[in-house]
Amino acid sequence: MKINFKNNFIASVIISYLLFVQISLHGQQKNQTSYSNNLAKNAMSVSTESKIEALIKTLTLKEKVALCHAQSKFSTKGVERLGIPEIWMSDGPHGVRAEINWDNWKYAGWTNDSITAFPALTCLAASFNPELSSQYGFSLGEEARYRKKDVLLGPGVNIYRTPLNGRNFEYMGEDPFLASTLVVPYIKGVQKNGVAACVKHYVLNNQEHWRSKINVEVGDRALYEIYLPAFKASVKEAGVWAIMGAYNKFRGKYTTHNPILHKILKSDWKYDGVVISDWSSAHSTEESALYGLDLEMGTGTDGLGTSTNDFYSQYYLAAPFLKGLKNGDFPESLVDDKVRRILRLMFRTNMSANRPLGNANTKAHHDVARRVATDGIVLLKNEKNFFPIKDDKNVTIAVIGENATRSMTAGGGSSELKAKFEISPLEGIKARYKNATITHAMGYQTGPSRYNQVIPPTLDLDSLKTEAIKTARNADIVLFIGGLNKSHLQDCEGDDRLQFGLPFGQVDLLNDIYKVNKNIGFILVTGNAVEMPWLDKVNALVETWYLGSMSGHAIADVISGDVNPSGKLPFSFPVKLEDNAAHFFGTSSYPGENMTQYYKEDILVGYRWHDTKKIKPLYAFGYGLSYTSFTISDIKTDKKTYTTEDSITVSCRLNNTGLLDGSEVVQVYVGKQKSKVKRALKELKGFQKVSVNSGKQYSVDINIPVKSLSFYDEAISDWNLEKGDYIVYVGNASNNISKKTKITIN
């Protein structure tokens, strides 16, 4: 980029910037860590803020407007005469997406854009492990930096409301506290690289069906208590630099330019970063200008496959915005605020002097991906000690199912990745089991993963089934590797699943296999809960999510016992769809009627619904087995009575009473029985993942600020901490509580 010094003032701004670059570069060689720490801090220095103000004074109106919208599918224009660079963005939450063409959605076909695919965010949530989330974010940020991206379009923290949502795999489950706790270290990790995380989709984008039109009607309590906390934590605790609007409407107005952006995000939470539209989620110049959108992306496409070429100058925040500013329809302060935020983003990223260079596909990244994967895999059922499976030369293991070999980094929508490699479950199992005989049959086949198309299979389904039954009959152990995939109407952006049960005839196939071999373990590869009328046909069940590059190795680690499973479900698995709160209320609640839906379950989302309404789930939030056994004892709170400013310390002793080393997640829920408002029976307020060797014990202390027990009081439009008695529940799953203790808040 050429820099043209037009006047002395600009030159002095640039020279001081270059000086800053030099000094900082020098510092970088000396102390990389302290640089990272500074970058992670949210507040800009006074001198940077004054540089930003000086730049705003220097920019022409036209240049300011040009900063507020895209110039290509994933980039924005800079200001060449001032040396203000372009901003480059990329999806998405699980890895850095392959390069897309300048002006259409096709892949550019580069040969140097393959990366590490990290596990899906459901898996990260299931790990209940904030330390791993930090490593995940940092490694991903390094890859984004290496690929010269300034903004990484992720993570996603929309709450899991219905198991049909095609995009749940990109999110962190049904509990706001879990999602908040895990999203903060991820964001800090990404941003340590001088790459902005962009938390999405703000807000209430809880289904893909009709996502670009649906109007969500939800009460303030559910909004503040369930759907906003992870965004709030991203802003206030992680200091996130970018937030993406959503496609849907809230109370009749599109969320990308909605009064809640100013009211909640920018005013109440004092967010000083950029609001970026989702791709084509802006709908009006006036509303984009007035209601908090800073940077418009993707307009002129349907967000899925089609484009209007070179439409950028016609964006709502392009020529029409400039016209409105010139006419005096909008004050210049409006565009200045957007530009201020965009320049702040740049000083944090592409105008930051000495951000690290990043790297990709390193062993360290693959190790992190494998650790997150093994930490997040959830063992749901394990009868007759089916798992772990020994590598015995006298044993034949039949691996059946399309998901044993199907790529799960391809498809799914914008989170699709071009992984440098992806170890399939079958490859992972073959690599681990050197002595046992591994046989394989596909059993069923679906078409390739495509964004918004269902592609028919090409093979003969009857012969696939016959072959699978034969393979199963001749084996000692059957590993059925099935579930969903990343095709349209499965776990895929753009629409929702059409059925809660397993698709593609898998249940019929399983039943037929059961007739010839009853020793079956099911490896469920999904990002969502599924119906399981077949559960009694399998001895064991393990939920492995979508695990990315190291998928097969991670699955082999767990089923062989090299790693003892410790993942916990980040959302409930209902027995049947109507047991889920959103579905209980019928079509006006999901998917909506006449393009409006009412979140009638209000705050009772997920386990809050199951617990409070006494509807037993098939598998409960927070549940997950281990190959060893634990007891939680000596459970107590540090006091019986607390004031509103206190913190409650819940302590207990975790004993590993089994024969293997392992990790357990101690979970603390709190509930208020007598309340002036409707309450969930209990809510997760603290947890800790602890690893304990066989026969050993570990003391656990979990702190809970009393203020976090407040509810959002619609009568006063603020948080309200009720005095009185509360019950503290401690256990290792929402449905397995070891002890309840009463405390009082005065």
Question: What residues are annotated to the active site?
Answer: 278
Alpha helices in 147-284 (DSSP H): 176-191, 220-222, 229-236, 259-260
Cβ nearer to ligand BGC, comparing 279 with 444: 279
The first and second tokens of residue 660, run together, are 């293997």
Would you report the helix, strand and coil content of the chain in percent, each value rounded to 5? 35, 20, 45
Which residues, 280 to 309, sit near ligand BGC by CB under 6 A? Answer: 303
Please, what is the minimum distance in Å from the beta carbon of residue 745 to ligand BGC? 40
Task: Work out the angle at residue 518's Cα, subtended by the Cα atoms of residues 516 and 523, and round it to the nearest 5 degrees.
Answer: 110
Please, what is the minimum distance in Å from the beta carbon of residue 178 to ligand BGC? 21
Which residues, 91 to 110, sit near ligand BGC by CB under 6 A? Answer: 91-92
Judged by CB under 6 A, the residue of 175, 278, 375, 496 near ligand BGC is 278
Please, what is the minimum distance in Å from the beta carbon of residue 118 to ligand BGC? 16
CB 163 within 8 A of CB 500: yes
**DSSP state, 227?**
I
- Residue tagged 């965009």 (tokens): 342
Cβ nearer to ligand BGC, comparing 278 with 491: 278
Please, what is the minimum distance in Å from the beta carbon of residue 200 to ligand BGC? 5
Distance CA 515, CA 259 (A): 60
Distance CA 341, CA 719 (A): 29
Please, what is the minimum distance in Å from the beta carbon of residue 46 to ligand BGC? 33
256 binds ligand BGC (CB under 6 A): no
DSSP per-residue letters across 648-698: EEEEEEEEE-SSS-EEEEEEEEEE-SS-SS---S-EEEEEEEEEE-TT-EE
Q: Which residues pair with 480 in a beta bridge?
A: 400, 522
The first and second tokens of residue 723, run together, are 């005095």
Cβ nearer to ligand BGC, comparing 451 with 545: 451
Please, what is the minimum distance in Å from the beta carbon of residue 121 to ligand BGC? 12
> Residues near 364 by Cβ (< 8 Å), separated by ≥ 6?
139
Helix (H) or strand (E) holding 740: strand 736-745
Residue 724, φ and ψ in degrees, nearest 5: 115, -160
Cβ nearer to ligand BGC, comparing 256 with 732: 256
416 binds ligand BGC (CB under 6 A): no
Please, what is the minimum distance in Å from the beta carbon of residue 608 to ligand BGC? 27
433 binds ligand BGC (CB under 6 A): no
Which residues, 195 to 214, sit near ligand BGC by CB under 6 A? Answer: 200
Cβ nearer to ligand BGC, comparing 227 with 386: 227
CB 330 within 8 A of CB 64: no
Nearest of 511, 499, 446 to residue 472 by alpha carbon: 511
CA distances from 323 to 35, 170, 311, 333, 675 (A): 42, 39, 17, 15, 54
Please, what is the minimum distance in Å from the beta carbon of residue 487 to ligand BGC? 17
Binding mask 163-202 for ligand BGC (x = CB under 6 A): -------------------------------------x--
Q: How many other CB atoms are there within 10 angstroms of residue 60's CB atom?
A: 10
Please, what is the minimum distance in Å from the beta carbon of residue 92 to ligand BGC? 6
Half-sphere exposure of 602 (CA within 13 A, CB side): 10
Please, what is the minimum distance in Å from the beta carbon of residue 151 to ligand BGC? 10
Distance CA 672, CA 743 (A): 10
- Counting every residue written for the chain, the total comes to 746
Which residue is at the shortest CB distance from ligand BGC? 414
279 binds ligand BGC (CB under 6 A): yes
Cβ nearer to ligand BGC, comparing 280 with 517: 280
Task: Classify the C-alpha dihedral 525-617-634-745 as positive or negative.
Answer: positive
Cβ nearer to ligand BGC, comparing 425 with 494: 494
414 binds ligand BGC (CB under 6 A): yes
Distance CA 284, CA 288 (A): 6
The first and second tokens of residue 559, run together, are 């089923």
Distance CA 52, CA 687 (A): 42
Binding mask 33-72 for ligand BGC (x = CB under 6 A): ----------------------------------------
Judged by CB under 6 A, the residue of 39, 153, 436, 635 near ligand BGC is 153
Task: Work out the angle at residue 70's Cα, subtended by the Cα atoms of residues 66 and 74, and round it to the nearest 5 degrees.
Answer: 145
The first and second tokens of residue 455, run together, are 């592609």
Cβ nearer to ligand BGC, comparing 91 with 422: 91
CB 174 within 8 A of CB 621: yes
Please, what is the minimum distance in Å from the beta carbon of residue 97 to ligand BGC? 7
Cβ nearer to ligand BGC, comparing 412 with 443: 412
> Residues near 454 by Cβ (< 8 Å), separated by ≥ 6?
447, 487, 488, 489
Cβ nearer to ligand BGC, comparing 200 with 366: 200
Cβ nearer to ligand BGC, comparing 200 with 583: 200
The first and second tokens of residue 499, run together, are 């059925």
CB 180 within 8 A of CB 230: yes
Cβ nearer to ligand BGC, comparing 413 with 503: 413
> Contact positions toward ligand BGC, by CB under 6 A?
91-92, 153, 200, 278-279, 303, 414
